[in-house]
Amino acid sequence: MLEEELDPLLEAAVRALSEATDVAAVEAVRVRYLGRRGELTERFAVLQDPTLSAQEKARLGKKFNAIKQSLEKSLSERKAALSPQGISGGSVADLTLPGHPPEVGRLHPITQTIERILAIFRSLGFAVVLGPEVETEYHNFDALNIPANHPSRENFDTFYLESERETDVLLRSHTSPVQIRFMKRHRPPFQIVVPGRVFRPDATDATHSFQFHQVEGLAVGPGVTFGDLKGVLAAWAKGMFGSSARLRFRPHHFPFTEPSAEGDLSCIFCGAKGCRVCGQKGWLEILGCGMVHPEVFKAVDYLPGTVGFAFGMGVERIAMLLHGIEDIRLFFENDIRFLRQFP
Protein backbone atom coordinates (compact mmCIF):
# COMPACT_ATOMS: atom_id res chain seq x y z
CA MET A 1 0.00 0.00 0.00
CA LEU A 2 1.24 3.36 -0.81
CA GLU A 3 0.87 6.02 1.76
CA GLU A 4 0.51 8.54 -1.06
CA GLU A 5 -2.74 6.85 -2.09
CA LEU A 6 -4.48 8.04 1.05
CA ASP A 7 -4.92 11.70 0.29
CA PRO A 8 -6.28 11.14 -3.25
CA LEU A 9 -8.70 8.54 -1.82
CA LEU A 10 -9.99 11.07 0.70
CA GLU A 11 -10.35 13.64 -2.05
CA ALA A 12 -12.27 11.18 -4.22
CA ALA A 13 -14.56 10.34 -1.33
CA VAL A 14 -15.29 14.02 -0.58
CA ARG A 15 -16.02 14.61 -4.24
CA ALA A 16 -18.42 11.67 -4.34
CA LEU A 17 -20.10 13.13 -1.26
CA SER A 18 -20.62 16.50 -2.87
CA GLU A 19 -22.31 14.73 -5.77
CA ALA A 20 -24.61 12.73 -3.49
CA THR A 21 -28.17 14.04 -3.77
CA ASP A 22 -29.86 12.01 -1.02
CA VAL A 23 -29.14 10.25 2.23
CA ALA A 24 -28.92 6.86 0.53
CA ALA A 25 -26.14 8.11 -1.74
CA VAL A 26 -24.24 9.40 1.31
CA GLU A 27 -24.58 5.97 2.88
CA ALA A 28 -23.23 4.37 -0.32
CA VAL A 29 -20.14 6.58 -0.10
CA ARG A 30 -19.63 5.55 3.51
CA VAL A 31 -19.85 1.88 2.62
CA ARG A 32 -17.51 2.31 -0.34
CA TYR A 33 -14.73 3.93 1.71
CA LEU A 34 -15.32 3.10 5.37
CA GLY A 35 -17.43 -0.06 5.18
CA ARG A 36 -16.01 -3.37 6.34
CA ARG A 37 -14.37 -3.87 2.94
CA GLY A 38 -14.14 -0.21 2.12
CA GLU A 39 -11.25 1.25 0.14
CA LEU A 40 -9.83 3.08 3.14
CA THR A 41 -10.60 0.32 5.59
CA GLU A 42 -8.67 -2.18 3.51
CA ARG A 43 -5.63 0.04 3.47
CA PHE A 44 -5.75 0.37 7.25
CA ALA A 45 -4.77 -3.32 7.35
CA VAL A 46 -1.17 -2.31 6.73
CA LEU A 47 -0.96 -1.43 10.42
CA GLN A 48 -0.92 -5.18 11.10
CA ASP A 49 2.34 -5.56 9.11
CA PRO A 50 4.88 -7.19 11.52
CA THR A 51 7.84 -5.66 9.70
CA LEU A 52 6.65 -2.17 10.60
CA SER A 53 8.68 -0.42 13.33
CA ALA A 54 6.73 0.82 16.37
CA GLN A 55 7.58 4.40 15.42
CA GLU A 56 6.39 3.95 11.85
CA LYS A 57 3.23 2.25 13.10
CA ALA A 58 2.42 5.18 15.39
CA ARG A 59 2.96 7.73 12.62
CA LEU A 60 0.82 5.81 10.13
CA GLY A 61 -1.88 5.15 12.73
CA LYS A 62 -2.17 8.86 13.39
CA LYS A 63 -2.49 9.63 9.71
CA PHE A 64 -5.17 6.97 9.19
CA ASN A 65 -7.14 8.32 12.12
CA ALA A 66 -7.01 11.87 10.84
CA ILE A 67 -8.27 10.78 7.44
CA LYS A 68 -10.99 8.64 8.92
CA GLN A 69 -12.20 11.41 11.21
CA SER A 70 -12.18 13.94 8.42
CA LEU A 71 -14.25 11.67 6.19
CA GLU A 72 -16.67 10.81 9.00
CA LYS A 73 -17.22 14.50 9.64
CA SER A 74 -17.91 15.18 5.95
CA LEU A 75 -20.28 12.20 5.85
CA SER A 76 -22.37 13.37 8.78
CA GLU A 77 -22.47 16.97 7.56
CA ARG A 78 -23.64 15.91 4.12
CA LYS A 79 -26.19 13.56 5.62
CA ALA A 80 -27.60 16.29 7.86
CA ALA A 81 -27.77 18.68 4.91
CA LEU A 82 -29.75 16.17 2.85
CA SER A 83 -32.09 15.01 5.66
CA PRO A 84 -35.65 16.29 5.62
CA GLN A 85 -35.96 19.35 7.85
CA GLY A 86 -37.86 18.51 11.02
CA ILE A 87 -39.64 20.99 13.25
CA SER A 88 -36.73 21.08 15.68
CA GLY A 89 -34.15 22.50 13.29
CA GLY A 90 -32.68 19.67 11.31
CA SER A 91 -33.86 16.68 13.38
CA VAL A 92 -35.91 14.13 11.54
CA ALA A 93 -39.57 14.34 12.43
CA ASP A 94 -42.11 12.39 10.44
CA LEU A 95 -45.23 14.47 10.84
CA THR A 96 -47.40 11.72 9.38
CA LEU A 97 -46.74 9.36 12.32
CA PRO A 98 -49.77 8.86 14.60
CA GLY A 99 -48.10 10.39 17.67
CA HIS A 100 -48.32 9.33 21.31
CA PRO A 101 -51.89 9.08 22.54
CA PRO A 102 -52.28 10.41 26.10
CA GLU A 103 -52.69 7.68 28.75
CA VAL A 104 -56.29 7.82 29.87
CA GLY A 105 -56.75 7.18 33.57
CA ARG A 106 -59.57 5.23 35.12
CA LEU A 107 -61.36 4.93 38.43
CA HIS A 108 -59.96 2.62 41.08
CA PRO A 109 -62.02 -0.59 41.39
CA ILE A 110 -63.05 0.41 44.92
CA THR A 111 -64.27 3.79 43.65
CA GLN A 112 -66.12 2.01 40.84
CA THR A 113 -67.77 -0.32 43.34
CA ILE A 114 -68.76 2.60 45.59
CA GLU A 115 -70.23 4.38 42.56
CA ARG A 116 -72.31 1.31 41.69
CA ILE A 117 -73.54 0.92 45.25
CA LEU A 118 -74.47 4.60 45.47
CA ALA A 119 -76.19 4.66 42.08
CA ILE A 120 -78.67 2.03 43.27
CA PHE A 121 -79.37 3.85 46.52
CA ARG A 122 -79.80 7.12 44.65
CA SER A 123 -82.41 5.44 42.47
CA LEU A 124 -84.18 4.41 45.70
CA GLY A 125 -84.29 8.04 46.83
CA PHE A 126 -81.21 8.22 49.07
CA ALA A 127 -78.97 11.29 49.17
CA VAL A 128 -75.17 10.92 49.38
CA VAL A 129 -73.46 12.53 52.39
CA LEU A 130 -69.80 12.58 53.45
CA GLY A 131 -68.05 12.92 56.80
CA PRO A 132 -64.51 13.32 58.14
CA GLU A 133 -62.03 10.44 58.39
CA VAL A 134 -60.54 11.94 61.57
CA GLU A 135 -63.18 11.77 64.27
CA THR A 136 -63.74 12.42 67.94
CA GLU A 137 -64.43 9.64 70.41
CA TYR A 138 -67.78 11.29 70.99
CA HIS A 139 -68.99 10.84 67.38
CA ASN A 140 -67.30 7.49 66.79
CA PHE A 141 -68.40 5.90 70.08
CA ASP A 142 -70.27 7.79 72.82
CA ALA A 143 -73.10 9.26 70.75
CA LEU A 144 -73.54 5.83 69.13
CA ASN A 145 -74.22 4.26 72.51
CA ILE A 146 -70.91 2.41 72.51
CA PRO A 147 -70.06 2.15 76.21
CA ALA A 148 -66.69 3.09 77.68
CA ASN A 149 -65.75 -0.55 78.28
CA HIS A 150 -66.65 -1.77 74.80
CA PRO A 151 -63.78 -3.67 73.10
CA SER A 152 -64.01 -1.61 69.90
CA ARG A 153 -62.71 1.35 71.91
CA GLU A 154 -59.51 -0.47 72.81
CA ASN A 155 -56.17 0.41 71.23
CA PHE A 156 -56.15 -2.87 69.34
CA ASP A 157 -59.33 -1.86 67.55
CA THR A 158 -58.83 1.87 66.98
CA PHE A 159 -56.11 4.25 65.82
CA TYR A 160 -55.92 7.08 68.34
CA LEU A 161 -54.22 10.31 67.30
CA GLU A 162 -52.44 12.83 69.43
CA SER A 163 -53.85 16.31 69.16
CA GLU A 164 -53.00 19.52 70.96
CA ARG A 165 -56.59 20.64 71.19
CA GLU A 166 -58.35 17.41 71.88
CA THR A 167 -57.19 14.22 73.51
CA ASP A 168 -59.93 12.03 72.07
CA VAL A 169 -59.16 12.18 68.35
CA LEU A 170 -58.98 9.04 66.25
CA LEU A 171 -59.25 7.64 62.73
CA ARG A 172 -62.90 6.63 62.44
CA SER A 173 -63.36 2.89 62.84
CA HIS A 174 -66.66 2.95 60.91
CA THR A 175 -68.83 5.36 58.92
CA SER A 176 -71.56 5.39 61.60
CA PRO A 177 -70.31 8.66 63.23
CA VAL A 178 -71.63 10.45 60.14
CA GLN A 179 -75.11 9.41 61.34
CA ILE A 180 -74.56 11.64 64.39
CA ARG A 181 -73.08 14.52 62.41
CA PHE A 182 -75.96 14.48 59.92
CA MET A 183 -78.74 14.16 62.49
CA LYS A 184 -77.35 17.03 64.57
CA ARG A 185 -77.92 19.30 61.60
CA HIS A 186 -81.07 17.88 60.00
CA ARG A 187 -84.55 16.89 61.05
CA PRO A 188 -86.38 13.83 59.70
CA PRO A 189 -87.62 12.59 57.35
CA PHE A 190 -84.51 11.81 55.30
CA GLN A 191 -82.65 8.89 53.81
CA ILE A 192 -78.92 9.09 53.25
CA VAL A 193 -75.97 6.90 52.28
CA VAL A 194 -72.40 7.67 53.37
CA PRO A 195 -69.43 6.20 51.54
CA GLY A 196 -65.98 6.47 53.04
CA ARG A 197 -62.73 5.07 54.32
CA VAL A 198 -62.42 3.56 57.78
CA PHE A 199 -59.42 2.38 59.80
CA ARG A 200 -58.71 -0.44 62.23
CA PRO A 201 -55.29 -1.65 63.37
CA ASP A 202 -55.89 -5.18 62.05
CA ALA A 203 -52.97 -7.31 60.99
CA THR A 204 -53.01 -7.35 57.20
CA ASP A 205 -53.74 -10.59 55.38
CA ALA A 206 -55.73 -11.72 52.34
CA THR A 207 -59.04 -10.64 53.88
CA HIS A 208 -58.02 -7.93 56.38
CA SER A 209 -56.54 -4.47 55.98
CA PHE A 210 -55.92 -1.59 58.37
CA GLN A 211 -57.94 0.57 55.98
CA PHE A 212 -61.06 -0.28 54.07
CA HIS A 213 -64.28 1.33 52.88
CA GLN A 214 -67.86 1.23 54.02
CA VAL A 215 -71.16 2.54 52.78
CA GLU A 216 -73.42 3.56 55.65
CA GLY A 217 -77.16 3.97 55.28
CA LEU A 218 -79.61 5.87 57.48
CA ALA A 219 -83.34 6.41 56.95
CA VAL A 220 -85.44 8.20 59.55
CA GLY A 221 -89.09 9.15 59.30
CA PRO A 222 -92.55 8.41 60.63
CA GLY A 223 -93.52 4.76 60.36
CA VAL A 224 -90.17 3.45 59.12
CA THR A 225 -89.96 -0.28 59.94
CA PHE A 226 -87.57 -3.19 59.79
CA GLY A 227 -89.65 -4.29 56.79
CA ASP A 228 -88.54 -1.11 54.98
CA LEU A 229 -84.93 -1.92 55.84
CA LYS A 230 -85.27 -5.41 54.39
CA GLY A 231 -87.06 -4.14 51.31
CA VAL A 232 -84.46 -1.47 50.58
CA LEU A 233 -81.52 -3.83 51.07
CA ALA A 234 -83.14 -6.62 49.04
CA ALA A 235 -83.76 -4.19 46.16
CA TRP A 236 -80.19 -2.98 46.41
CA ALA A 237 -78.83 -6.58 46.37
CA LYS A 238 -80.76 -7.40 43.19
CA GLY A 239 -79.54 -4.23 41.52
CA MET A 240 -75.99 -4.97 42.56
CA PHE A 241 -75.68 -8.71 42.00
CA GLY A 242 -78.57 -9.61 39.69
CA SER A 243 -82.21 -10.58 40.10
CA SER A 244 -81.45 -13.97 41.66
CA ALA A 245 -79.55 -12.39 44.59
CA ARG A 246 -81.22 -12.90 47.97
CA LEU A 247 -80.48 -11.54 51.42
CA ARG A 248 -80.80 -13.32 54.76
CA PHE A 249 -80.91 -11.56 58.12
CA ARG A 250 -79.37 -13.10 61.24
CA PRO A 251 -79.93 -11.62 64.70
CA HIS A 252 -76.83 -9.81 65.91
CA HIS A 253 -75.79 -7.07 68.32
CA PHE A 254 -74.71 -3.50 67.64
CA PRO A 255 -74.90 -0.92 70.45
CA PHE A 256 -76.40 1.69 68.08
CA THR A 257 -79.24 -0.44 66.66
CA GLU A 258 -82.00 -2.49 68.28
CA PRO A 259 -82.96 -4.94 67.01
CA SER A 260 -79.79 -5.59 65.04
CA ALA A 261 -78.94 -8.06 62.32
CA GLU A 262 -76.18 -9.14 60.05
CA GLY A 263 -77.08 -9.42 56.39
CA ASP A 264 -75.85 -12.34 54.32
CA LEU A 265 -75.93 -12.44 50.53
CA SER A 266 -76.83 -15.71 48.82
CA CYS A 267 -73.51 -16.92 47.41
CA ILE A 268 -73.26 -15.57 43.87
CA PHE A 269 -70.71 -18.22 42.94
CA CYS A 270 -72.71 -21.36 43.74
CA GLY A 271 -76.28 -20.03 43.88
CA ALA A 272 -76.33 -20.68 47.66
CA LYS A 273 -75.57 -24.40 47.17
CA GLY A 274 -72.24 -24.23 49.03
CA CYS A 275 -68.75 -23.75 47.56
CA ARG A 276 -65.19 -22.77 48.46
CA VAL A 277 -65.91 -19.03 48.40
CA CYS A 278 -68.80 -19.23 50.88
CA GLY A 279 -67.11 -21.94 52.94
CA GLN A 280 -69.88 -24.43 51.96
CA LYS A 281 -72.38 -22.21 53.78
CA GLY A 282 -74.18 -20.84 50.73
CA TRP A 283 -74.19 -17.34 52.27
CA LEU A 284 -71.71 -14.47 52.44
CA GLU A 285 -71.76 -11.90 55.22
CA ILE A 286 -71.73 -8.42 53.71
CA LEU A 287 -73.42 -5.97 56.07
CA GLY A 288 -74.63 -5.02 59.52
CA CYS A 289 -77.98 -3.31 60.12
CA GLY A 290 -80.88 -2.64 62.44
CA MET A 291 -83.37 -0.12 63.78
CA VAL A 292 -81.65 2.98 65.16
CA HIS A 293 -81.32 2.67 68.96
CA PRO A 294 -83.39 5.19 71.00
CA GLU A 295 -80.18 6.21 72.82
CA VAL A 296 -78.75 7.41 69.49
CA PHE A 297 -81.81 9.58 68.80
CA LYS A 298 -81.48 10.91 72.35
CA ALA A 299 -77.85 11.91 71.69
CA VAL A 300 -78.97 14.06 68.75
CA ASP A 301 -81.98 15.52 70.61
CA TYR A 302 -84.65 13.86 68.48
CA LEU A 303 -88.11 13.39 69.99
CA PRO A 304 -88.87 10.15 71.82
CA GLY A 305 -90.67 7.75 69.49
CA THR A 306 -88.55 8.67 66.45
CA VAL A 307 -87.94 5.62 64.25
CA GLY A 308 -85.42 4.79 61.55
CA PHE A 309 -83.10 2.13 60.23
CA ALA A 310 -79.36 2.04 59.63
CA PHE A 311 -76.94 -0.26 57.86
CA GLY A 312 -73.24 -0.46 57.07
CA MET A 313 -71.62 -2.56 54.36
CA GLY A 314 -68.00 -3.38 53.53
CA VAL A 315 -67.02 -2.22 50.05
CA GLU A 316 -63.84 -4.31 49.61
CA ARG A 317 -65.76 -7.48 50.42
CA ILE A 318 -68.39 -6.61 47.82
CA ALA A 319 -65.77 -5.69 45.19
CA MET A 320 -63.95 -8.97 45.83
CA LEU A 321 -67.19 -10.91 45.32
CA LEU A 322 -68.13 -8.97 42.18
CA HIS A 323 -64.76 -9.52 40.50
CA GLY A 324 -63.62 -12.80 42.06
CA ILE A 325 -60.63 -11.11 43.75
CA GLU A 326 -59.02 -13.27 46.41
CA ASP A 327 -56.68 -10.84 48.18
CA ILE A 328 -57.76 -7.48 49.63
CA ARG A 329 -54.15 -6.22 49.53
CA LEU A 330 -54.36 -5.94 45.73
CA PHE A 331 -56.60 -2.88 46.17
CA PHE A 332 -53.93 -0.94 48.02
CA GLU A 333 -50.69 -1.95 46.29
CA ASN A 334 -51.12 0.33 43.26
CA ASP A 335 -49.93 -2.39 40.90
CA ILE A 336 -50.88 -1.02 37.49
CA ARG A 337 -51.24 -4.55 36.07
CA PHE A 338 -54.06 -5.18 38.55
CA LEU A 339 -55.69 -1.77 38.22
CA ARG A 340 -55.73 -1.94 34.40
CA GLN A 341 -58.17 -4.82 34.60
CA PHE A 342 -61.00 -2.50 35.66
CA PRO A 343 -61.68 -0.30 32.63
Which residues sit at the interface with ligand PHE, rule CB under 6 A?
174, 176, 216, 254, 257, 288-290, 310-312
* Residue whose CB is less far from ligand PHE, 38 or 312: 312
* Least distance between ligand PHE and beta carbon 174 (Å): 3
* Least distance between ligand PHE and beta carbon 293 (Å): 9
Instruction: Tell whether omega for the bond before 50 is within 30 degrees of 0, i.e. cis.
Output: no
* Least distance between ligand PHE and beta carbon 176 (Å): 4
Q: How buried is 147 (Cβ within 10 angstroms: 0-12 exposed, 13-18 middle, 19+ buried)? A: exposed
* Residue whose CB is less far from ligand PHE, 62 or 250: 250
* Residue whose CB is less far from ligand PHE, 90 or 231: 231
* Residue whose CB is less far from ligand PHE, 38 or 217: 217
**How far apart are alpha carbons 325 and 340 in whole angstroms?**
14
Q: Return the amino acid letter for 324.
A: G
* Residue whose CB is less far from ligand PHE, 107 or 127: 127
* Least distance between ligand PHE and beta carbon 270 (Å): 26
* Least distance between ligand PHE and beta carbon 214 (Å): 6
**How far apart are alpha carbons 26 and 38 in whole angstroms?**
14
**How far apart are alpha carbons 316 and 110 in whole angstroms?**
7
What is the spatial order of strands in the sheet that 247-254 belongs to? 127-128, 190-199, 211-220, 308-314, 283-292, 257-266, 247-254
Contact 272/282 with Cβ under 8 angstroms? yes
Which residue is at the shortest CB distance from ligand PHE? 312
